Structure 1
Amino acid sequence: MSCTVCRRASGGFSLIVVLLMLLVVTVLALGAAQTSLVSERGARNDRDTEVAFQAAEAALLDAETDVLGPNLHSRQRLCLFSSQDVSAFGAGCAAAGNRRGLCAPAEPGTEPAWMTADFSADAGRSVAFGDFTGQAYLSADAAKGAYAGALPVRAPRYIVEAVRSHGGWKADHLQDASASGTRYLFRVTAIGYGTREETQVVLQTVLSKPEASPGCPS
């Protein structure tokens, strides 16, 4: 009887050890799976952000062509960008015709246009990539159901805001404060989208156009 009891006790102890080992292995496997999922999600987010960043950079370059040229597209609007005349720029960013996305200078003490601008396509107050340059940027919305891969969900967009220049590059040199002496710079704000619309990157640059484009009034 005593030997039988010993064998039963030994078998019960072995079962407990095996169950504990299975529990440890399960916990380790779950931890490894969770780590793998987090790493995969992080890599996907990094790729998505990079797609949006590249799209925003492309929009800045497209805006540079729009403002400074050379631009031979039939819809080019180079003559609207003058360092002395920004009458084509509208409050809240113009939405009509070739003035679309041109934002008038903000009044002193108010938020600049880029902070309040509506970049959605439906609002019609920003410029989609290539609208005035004829350049193309492949995006998922333009692929018409084709496999999108790493394409942005929609084309990048930008606005151009007139900003008063308060001086040149010369040291201790301020600009003439009179209305006739006012000069303007052009601040471009571009937004790029990732493969998911909620992934967005906003970039800015400031363009100087001291001379009119060829064929435009100086």
Structure 2
Amino acid sequence: MCSINHDSGLKASAITLVNRQSGISLVIVMMFLLAITGITVWSVRKSMFGEGMARNQLDQEVARQAAESALRDAERDLLNLSASTLTNASCTRGRDRPPQTADFSDTCTNGLCVFDETVYATSTWSTGTVPEPWWPTGKGGLWNNSFDTKPGRDPVTTANCNFTGGVPIGTYTGAAAIPGVAVQPEYLVELFRRVTYQPTNVYRITVRGFGYTQRTQVVLQTIFIPPQD
């Protein structure tokens, strides 16, 4: 009689089933690890992106506050009646206090600018035609980005008092330098000529503040009319 060994067949089937289950388990584990890795990478990138956004917002706020400080400094400069150099100031505007019409020029010497009305009438931002002084230097503005040709504010120096372009904060008023910024905030003052119905000159003050990097800039602008006695 012939006998059939069922045990060996069952054992082979069991081994095959175990191998298949092990292979499936390995695939599941690998997929699970891949998912965890993807989630981790996404979380890290999101965290870094959020941190970068926070830094940019902080940098922008620093630049804005620096610009506002320069705005107040420009007003103090126009209102200052002293012909002598003030404490902690780099330069003096001399006897012309407040600045006189003759002190303003189309080169913005010492930050004082004046242009014919036709300049403003024909100035076109989109094409860069007939640029106004407060425009970026890349579009023909007169800020003068050669900062080493201007009076130093941190530390305070009294050199380069005959310069062109933006006035570093405190140059004529002695206001303290802004700590931590890439470049000290600056201002330009444009004279709008007096007409018969105006009791005094009108000035347009434009300031630019910098953040922790020079790439971060904030520009503010205001019309200033000195108070009359």
Q: Answer yes or no: same fold by TM over 0.5.
A: yes
Aligned partners of 1:19, 1:202: CA distance in 2, in Å?
A: 54
Which one scores higher on RCO, CA 8 angstroms, separation ≥ 6? 1
Which of 173, 177, 183 matches 1:154? Answer: 183
- The residue aligned with 1:66 is 77
Aligned partners of 2:220, 2:204: CA distance in 1, in Å?
A: 11
Answer whether contact 2:188 2:207 (CA < 8 A) is retained: yes
Q: Please, which moves more after superposition, 103-112 or 202-211?
A: 103-112
Alignment of 1:70-81 (within 5 A): 73-74=85-86, 75-77=91-93, 79-81=96-98
- The residue aligned with 2:112 is 102
Structure 1 residue runs without a partner (length 5+): 95-99, 140-150, 166-174, 213-218
1:38 partner letter: F
Name the TM-score, length of structure 1 as normaliser: 0.74
Aligned partners of 1:105, 1:210: CA distance in 2, in Å?
A: 23
Match status 1:86 vs 2:115: no
Aligned partners of 1:29, 1:73: CA distance in 2, in Å?
A: 61
Which of 156, 160, 172 matches 1:132? Answer: 172
Aligned partners of 1:201, 1:92: CA distance in 2, in Å?
A: 23
SS in structure 1 opposite 2:69?
Answer: helix
- The residue aligned with 2:207 is 190
- The residue aligned with 2:133 is 113
Alignment of 1:172-211 (within 5 A): 176=196, 183-209=200-226, 211=228
Alignment of 1:7-18 (within 5 A): 7-18=18-29
Structure 2 residue runs without a partner (length 5+): 1-11, 124-130, 136-140, 150-162
Alignment of 1:50-61 (within 5 A): 50-61=61-72
Number of aligned positions between the proteins: 182
Aligned partners of 2:144, 2:78: CA distance in 1, in Å?
A: 19
Structure ID, larger Rg: 2
Name the TM-score, length of structure 2 as normaliser: 0.71
CA RMSD between the two structures: 2.4
2:184 partner letter: A
Aligned partners of 1:70, 1:8: CA distance in 2, in Å?
A: 95
Deviations 1:24-69 (A, max 9, x none): 1111111111110110000000000011111111101111110123
Identity of aligned residues (%): 32
- The residue aligned with 2:42 is 31
